Amino acid sequence: MRKFWKAFAFVEDVTSGGLLFLGVTIIFYGVIMRYVFNDARSWVDEVSQYMIIWGTLIGTSVALRNDHHIKVDMLFNAFPNRVKYFVTLFAHTVGVGFGIFLLYYGGGLVKFTYMSGQLSTDVGIPLYKVYSILPLMGFLLALRFLVKLFETFKDNGQQWEVLKAESKVDLR
């Protein structure tokens, strides 16, 4: 099971980082083509944006795993431990809810654009493919929040306390 999550994290890191890097590279290619070869490529903007957005939206789950989504800790820190435990359960549940919202209604958007057959403006990529990142992101976030929920929940918050004390502060 441990191995599975490690591999899962690896795939997440590589796809999100890889897509972002690819998008950045395409923008660079566009600049070179325009100024060195005087040949503007119209597809560059659209394709690079889609790639970077795909990368960063898959990355929301990476950032969640690394605790990079900024939270306000001031009231939380003032709570007694038992309350902290329940508040954490609540916060993760809200997170799961957000993921399910994206999964369900993002899926709805994919279905809608599939039926209507809309294409992107410059390159003509079917929009349902582009928008399929939304349910995917929802799935990843919901899964990640469920894992967090489970970890908090499993031994009634005992081990969680230890982990919480050891974990570093959120950066950025």
Does residue number 132 form part of the binding site for another protein (CB under 8 A)?
A: no
> By C-beta, is 162 or 171 nearer to another protein?
171
By CB under 8 A, tell whether 87 contacts another protein.
Answer: yes
Helices 133-153 & 158-166, crossing angle to 10 degrees?
Answer: 110
Residue 119 β-bridge partners: 126
Shortest CB 144 distance to another protein, Å = 12
Six-digit token pair at 110? 């994919």
Say whether residue 151 binds another protein (CB under 8 A): no
Which residues inside 90-129 make contact with another protein, applying CB under 8 A?
Answer: 90-91, 94-95, 97-98, 101-102, 105-106, 108-109, 112
Structure tokens at 145: 């929040």
Smallest distance, Å, CB 23 to another protein? Answer: 7
Closer residue to another protein in complex, CB, 47/159: 47
Q: 29 with 43: CB under 8 angstroms?
A: no
Half-sphere exposure of 78 (CA within 13 A, CB side): 3
**Choices 74-82, 147-155, 158-166; region in contact with another protein by CB under 8 A:** 74-82
Q: What angle do CA 129, 65, 13 make, to 5 degrees?
A: 50
Does residue 23 interact with another protein by CB under 8 A? yes
* Cα–Cα dist 146/94, whole Å: 10
**d(Cα 89, Cα 30) in Å, to the nearest integer?**
47
27 counts as binding another protein under rule CB under 8 A: yes
Residue 160 interacting with another protein (CB under 8 A):
no
Q: Name the residue nearer to another protein (CB basis): 55 or 157.
A: 55
